[in-house]
Structure 1
Amino acid sequence: MSGNTLGNLFRVTNFGESHGPAIGAVIDGCPPGMALSEADIQAELDRRRPGTSRHVTQRREPDTVEILSGVFEGITTGTPIGLLIRNTDARSRDYSNIADTFRPGHADYTYWKKYGVRDPRGGGRSSARLTAPTVAAGAVARKWLMQEHGVRIRGCMSQLGPIPIPFVSWDAVPQNPFYAPNADIVPELEAFMDRLRHDGDSIGARIEVTAEGLPAGWGEPIYDRLDADIAHAMMGLNAVKGVSIGSGFDCVSMRGSEHGDELGPDGFMGNHAGGVLGGISSGQPLRVSLAIKPTSSIRIERRSVNRANEPVMVQTLGRHDPCVAIRATPIAEALLAIVLMDHALRHRGQCG
C-alpha cells in the first residue's frame, strides 16, 4: 500500500491499524537543534484523544507517545524521528458481525475490491484512529513554525449539523468538547448531540482552521501551490468531503469588484483569497474551511451486500463518534502545520 507519506522536505509517513498493537509516524526532514520532548507532542494528542466526553467514542486510549529516534538529550538530531502510540483498548469482537459484509459509507467495499482482503477490526487502516500519528507529527511542525517564524495555528467548529456557531472568541474553544468559539451555544450543541445519540444516528460539521504570522512568499506556482497542497492534505483526513480557502464556494455569487482584495500602503484591505494568491502566501492570515460528513458507523440498520453479493442488512456496533468532526479540529491544525513547515523548508532551500 502506497500513499502513506505527506510532504517533500518535511516528510511524514503514517503506519499502523486501528486494532493492531500500535500506530505511529516517521518524520524525515526535521532540522536539527530544536528542543523536543514527549510532553511537546502529548499536549496535542490529549486534545484529540477519544473518551474525553459523552459526545465522542468511549474507546479509552491514553494515546501516550514514545519518541523512538531522532532526538538525543532532548534535541532533534536531523535524523528520522520515530513516534509510537500503542493501542490499549481495542475490542475487535465488536466487528465480528461485519467481517463478511460492507458498511454503507465506509471504505470496506473499496478496500476489498482493491486488495482482495481487508481488516474489519475498527476499519483497519481506514480508521480515524490513524489520525493520532498525524497529530503527533503536526505537534513537531507546530513547535518549529512558532519558534522559527512565529506562526500560530488555531481551529474551531463553525457549524454542527444544522446549527451555525457564530464566532465570539478563541478563548472559548479549549473550554468545551466541541471546540466551539462560542460558550453560549454549547448547551444547544450538547442537547442536539444527546438526541442524536439516542436515535443511533450521526451528523456532519464544518471546521475552520487559520494560520497567522506567515510571511509572504511560501508556496510554489502551478502544481505545488500552497493552497493545492493544503487541500490535498485536508482531503487525507477521514470523512472530509470538501475543502475551501478564504471565501471558498461563496465566491460563486460574488463579483470581481467585491472578491478581489484591494491593496493600500498598509497592506491588503480584505482577505477573500484566504491568504494565498497564485499558490503563494500573501502574508495575510491563512483561512481554511472543511466540510466533514456524518459518521458512517451508526446503529440504524442499513441495506448493503456481503462478499457473495447477496443483499443484507448491516448494523454497526462498537464505540463510535456520532460526529467525527468533534475531534477533528486538532487534526486539521496538525495537517496545516505539516504542509506549512514543508513549504517553509522548500522556500528556504530555494530563496535562502
Structure 2
Amino acid sequence: MSGNTFGTLFRITTWGESHGPAVGVVIDGCPSGMQLREADIQKELNRRRPGQSDITTQRKEEDKAEILSGVFSGKTTGAPISIIVRNRDVDSSKYEELRNTPRPGHADLTYELKYGIRDWRGGGRSSARETIGRVAAGAVAKKILSSHGIEVLGHVVALGGICAKPASIEEIRENTEKNPVRCADPEAAVGMYAMIQAVRSEGDSVGGVVEIISPGVPAGVGEPVFDKLSAELARGLMSIGAVKGVEIGMGFRSAVMKGSQMNDPITIKDGKPGMLTNNAGGTLGGISNGEPIICRIAVKPTPSIGKEQCTIDMNSMDETKIKIRGRHDPSIPPRIVPVAEAMVALVLVDMMMRGGFINPVTGEK
C-alpha cells in the first residue's frame, strides 16, 4: 500500500490500524532547535479523541502521545520525529459479523477489490483513527506557524441543514470550543446539537460543513501552475476520509456571481497592497495574497448507522442486508475540525518551506 506520506520538505507518514496495537506518525523535515513537548501534541489530540461528549463515539481512548525520536532535552534535533498513540479500548466483536459483508459508505469493498484482503476490525487503515497521526503532526506544524504569527482556526458552519451566522476571527477564537459541536454561533450550536441527538435516536447520521481560516499567511506562498497553494490545500483536505468537497473562498458560490461581485477590489493597507474583500479566500493565481486563507469542506454523514442497509456477502456473492452495531459518531464535523486544521497547517508549513518563507533547517524566516 503506497500513498501514506504527505508533503515535500515537511513530510509526514502515518501508520497503524483502528484495532491494531497502536497508530502514529513519522515527521520528516522538522527544523531543529524548536521547543517541543508531548503536552504540545496532547492538546490537539484531546480535541479529536473519542468520548469527549455525548454526541461522539463512546470509545474510551486516552490517545496519549509518546514521542519516540527526534526530540532531545525538550528540543527538536532535526531528525525524524516519531510519535505513537497506543490503542487501549479495542472491541472488535461487533465487526466479526461484518467481515464478509462490506459496509455501505465505507472503504470495505474498494479495499477488498484492490488488495484482496482487508483488516475488517473497525475499518483498519481506513478508520478515522488514522487521523491521529495527522493531528499529532499538525500540532508540530501549528507550533512552527505560530512562531511566524500564523493561526489555523476551524469551526462548524453548517450541520444537517442548520447554518451558522458568519463569524469574525475573534468570535471563532472565543466561541468554537465552548460547545460540543464546535460552532462559533452559540444559537446555531443549540440547533445542531439537537439535530445530532435526533438523528442518533433514529439510528441515522448527519453531515455538515467545516470552515478553516488561517490569518497571518504572507503574500507570495504557492506556485502559479501545478503547485498552487489552493491546489495543495484542496489535496490535503480531500485526503481526509469523510470529506467530499472543498471550497476556497467563495468556492461554488462564485459560479452564480458576476465578475463585479466576485473580484476583490485592491487597495492599500498599512502601506502595502491589500483587498477590500476576500472572496478569493486569500489566494490569487495559486499564490497567497496576504489576506486570511479561507477553506471549507463538505463532510458526509457517518456511514456507520443503525438502519438496515443493502449489501452483499463476499463469500456467496448473494445480496443481503445488515445493521451496523458498535460505537460510532452520529455526526463527523465536530471531531473533524482539528483534523482539518492539521491538514491546512501541514500544507502551509510545507509550502512556506518550499517558497523560502521558513528555513527548513532552523525554522526561522
The bucket for the TM-score relative to the shorter chain is over 0.9
How far is 1:264 from its partner? Answer: 1.4
How far is 1:314 from its partner? Answer: 1.3
Number of equivalent positions: 351
- Distance in 2, matches of 1:248 and 1:95, equals 39
Please name the residue that 2:162 is paired with: 163
1:293 maps to 2:292:
no
Matches within 5 A, 1:41-56: 41-56=41-56
Encode CA deviations 1:41-77: one digit per residue, 9 max, x unaligned.
1000001110011101000111000000000100001
**Pick aligned residue for 1:260 from 240, 260, 263:** 263
Residues 349 and 358 of structure 2 are in contact (CA less than 8 Å); yes or no, is this contact kept in structure 1? Answer: no
How far is 1:189 from its partner? Answer: 2.0
Matches within 5 A, 1:1-352: 1-147=1-147, 149-168=148-167, 169-170=171-172, 171-266=174-269, 267-307=274-314, 308-348=316-356
- Distance in 2, matches of 1:32 and 1:161, equals 44
- Distance in 2, matches of 1:89 and 1:206, equals 29
How far is 1:350 from its partner? Answer: 10
How far is 1:191 from its partner? Answer: 1.8
**SS of the residue aligned with 1:272?**
coil
Encode CA deviations 1:203-238: one digit per residue, 9 max, x unaligned.
111000000001101111211111101000101111
Q: TM-score with structure 1 length normalisation?
A: 0.98
**Aligned AA for 1:91?**
D
**SS of the residue aligned with 1:224?**
coil
- Distance in 2, matches of 1:104 and 1:265, equals 53
Unaligned runs of 5+ in 2: 360-364
- Evaluate the alpha carbon distance shift between residue 270 and residue 167 of structure 1 in structure 2; reply closer, same or farther with a 3 A threshold: closer
Encode CA deviations 1:94-136: one digit per residue, 9 max, x unaligned.
1011100111111000000000001111100000011111000
How far is 1:186 from its partner? Answer: 2.8
**SS of the residue aligned with 2:212?**
strand
- Evaluate the alpha carbon distance shift between residue 167 and residue 94 of structure 1 in structure 2; reply closer, same or farther with a 3 A threshold: same
How far is 1:192 from its partner? Answer: 1.5
**Aligned AA for 2:11?**
R
How far is 1:349 from its partner? Answer: 7.7
**SS of the residue aligned with 2:100?**
coil
Structure with more of its chain in helix, by fraction: 1
